[in-house]
Amino acid sequence: MGCVISHLSAKFAFFPPSPATYQIKKRDDGKLTAIYTSSSMPLTSAVGAVDDGGGGGGGGGCSFDVLSLRTRRGNKIVAFYLKNPYAKLTLLYSHGNAADLGQLFDLFVQLKANLRVNLMGYDYSGYGASTGKASELNTYADIEAVYECLQTEYGVSQEDLILYGQSVGSGPTLHLASRLPRLRGVVLHSAILSGLRVVCHVNCMFCVDIYKNVNKIRKVKSPTLVIHGTEDDVVNWLHGNRLWKMAKDPYEPLWIKGGGHCNLELYPDYIRHLYKFIYEMEIMTTKTRLSKIKLSQKTSSACGCCSCCIKVGQPSCPKCPKPRCPECCGLPSCLNCNSCCLNWNSCCCGSVKPKCPDLKLLKCPSCLGCGCFTCLGKCVRCSCW
């Protein structure tokens, strides 16, 4: 059954360019070089920059390394690493559907220069010169292999890494981001809630669904920038809007008025807002970042579930449930004050609750019952108040 689902998902989600726009060749010195399929010429940028030969590219001007990485699922994927000597951060770019590194090279050069970052882009299994077949699980293994390479070959830690996912690329991006709590940041560009939600407006999960970002976004602790076009006819703007609302640490979103699915880079606001995000992530100190993570962990541990109960005043009635925190679990508070509930002085949050000046003690013995919250709650509108 799992193989059938994977096969159907692959047919639904992945459309690698055929033929690939580039090829990989090995030079005499053993390094890899990238050439265009159509002309057999080294990869160049539209802005006139070419590889200087110091890396694994083709000519002179823009240095980049061409890498071949083996994933844990046995595929060999191709990655380009573009180094900026003035960069403090590294951008790991997961591209969208129907594209490969040959088509994106010019964009990579511009992002590297304009954002002042090192940039690592890669092709999924089955895309470009990468081997294997495209599938959800393969893309997860692909991005894990690229991240491992950044760590071991370039010394990039997660504290200095920003993950960037466009469209389908938001799937592997959030997969990795949900596992790296100290990431510097995440960018979701025309991102999807899930694969099935792109074609069907559904609010529940199905076994054939892929890239369930709607679940993984909740696990991402890093600042998250969402970019989406208001006229996107492939992935509706509502996808991006909901992801932004669900993010734990949402950054000011960029809704590009009139923007579609594949043209957001053409709008001036795109590079302007993205640069602002990168800059703010740069100046964010490690101490500030760690304090934000600790604060979010403290908040989630205090109010992360509805199983918390008051530490004092346990119910005397064995049939009634334990009293719950009125702030965490939304139980009713007293009539005229939202800061307290009956005579409770503290809750599972550890915060002391001030007593309501308008709160009156129960006088009616029949309302007191066994003394548990359920019985006491029946006296809220009683005349004995």
Q: How far is it, in rounded angstroms, from Cα 172 to Cα 13?
A: 13
Residue 283: CB atoms within 10 A of its CB come to 8
Q: Let me know: does 94 contact 166? Beta carbons within 8 Å.
A: yes
199 residue type, one letter: V
Backbone angles phi, psi at 132, to 5 degrees: 85, -170
Helix extents (H) in the chain: 2-13, 101-115, 136-154, 170-177, 195-199, 213-216, 237-246, 268-283, 286-303, 326-329, 365-368, 373-377
Catalytic residue among 130, 261, 273, 333, which? 261
97 residue type, one letter: N
User: Is 167 a catalytic site residue?
Assistant: yes
Catalytic residue among 63, 232, 239, 333, which? 232
Q: How far is it, in rounded angstroms, from Cα 227 to Cα 253?
A: 6
Q: Residues with Cβ < 8 Å from 47, sequence gap 6 or more?
A: 106, 109, 110
Q: How far is it, in rounded angstroms, from Cα 362 to Cα 366?
A: 10
Q: Let me know: does 64 contact 80? Beta carbons within 8 Å.
A: yes
Catalytic residue among 135, 167, 194, 333, which? 167
Residue 373: CB atoms within 10 A of its CB come to 22
Pairing outcome for strands 90-94 and 64-70: unpaired
Backbone angles phi, psi at 21, to 5 degrees: -80, -5
User: Is 261 a catalytic site residue?
Assistant: yes
User: Is 18 a catalytic site residue?
Assistant: no
Q: Provide the annotated active-site residues.
A: 167, 232, 261
